């Protein structure tokens, strides 16, 4: 009896619908775990890159030197450094066009940084919705397999004259395996989604804070240049 109710024989003896549901759920689980590990590495790298640039930014290095370093190491820069580079690029382009109006310069740099910020956030959030989808859909896919398996089991029992627990148990257990695998796929996806959503919110808040701080620095520099010009 114990051998008959182990998972492998149950799946091998299951109906083709239950087998298809289980294969779909296993595929969803493998894909979600792949996403979880890749997202862990990506967010860890983003945090490390932002920390390194933030330390360099506040170390007293000139903006022009920081911008030159960002251009040299364009392939290795993090989100914060790329946002800084986009703001400086637009700021310098406007200055080269002899735009001297401070609000116009600041607005141009801010808009460039906002566009870069949105691109960086989209990149960090990539595949996050997939985890949310797996977390919400997998239990229902498993439940569908369970309902179908129970229907299949009772259909088979209809031909029997005497029904005992020993005859009912394998069919019911076979059906419940689909729900168990659905939960196995959904729970890590939900945990990963909530964890990464929180981490991404923190990254987004830090980038927004940097945009405001850098804008204030540009504004102070423009004010100092204007005062020295007078």
Between vectors from CA 16 to CA 12 and to CA 18, what angle results, nearest 5°? 80
Q: What are the pLDDT tens digits along the chain (230 aa)?
A: 444 456 666 667 667 777 888 899 999 999 999 999 999 999 999 999 999 999 999 998 899 999 999 999 888 899 999 999 999 999 999 988 887 788 899 999 999 999 999 999 999 999 899 999 999 999 999 998 888 878 777 776 666 666 565 666 666 777 788 888 999 999 999 999 999 999 999 999 999 999 999 999 998 888 766 566 54
Using CA of residue 135, residue 137, residue 139, residue 142, what is the dihedral sign? negative
CB-count burial class (<10 Å; 0-12, 13-18, 19+) for 22: buried
């Amino acid at each position: 009896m114990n051998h008959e109710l182990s998972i492998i024989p149950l799946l091998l003896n299951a109906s083709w619908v239950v087998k298809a549901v289980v294969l779909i759920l296993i595929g969803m689980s493998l894909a979600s775990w792949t996403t979880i590990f890749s997202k862990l590495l990506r967010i860890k790298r983003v945090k490390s890159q932002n920390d390194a640039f933030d330390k360099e930014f506040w170390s007293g290095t000139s903006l022009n030197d920081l911008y030159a370093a960002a251009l040299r190491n364009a392939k290795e820069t993090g989100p914060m450094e790329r946002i800084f580079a986009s703001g400086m690029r637009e700021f310098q382009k406007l200055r080269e066009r002899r735009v001297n109006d401070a609000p116009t310069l600041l607005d141009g740099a801010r808009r460039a940084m906002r566009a870069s910020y949105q691109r960086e956030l989209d990149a960090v959030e990539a595949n996050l919705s997939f985890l949310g989808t797996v977390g919400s859909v997998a239990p229902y896919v498993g439940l569908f397999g369970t309902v179908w398996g129970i229907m299949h089991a009772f259909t088979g029992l209809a031909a029997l004259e005497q029904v005992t627990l020993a005859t009912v148990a394998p069919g019911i257990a076979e059906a419940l395996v689909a729900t168990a695998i659905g939960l196995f796929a959904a729970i890590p996806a939900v945990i990963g989604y909530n964890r990464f959503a929180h981490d991404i919110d923190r990254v987004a808040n830090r980038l927004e804070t940097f945009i405001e701080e850098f804008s204030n620095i540009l504004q102070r520099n423009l004010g100092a240049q204007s005062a020295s010009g007078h």
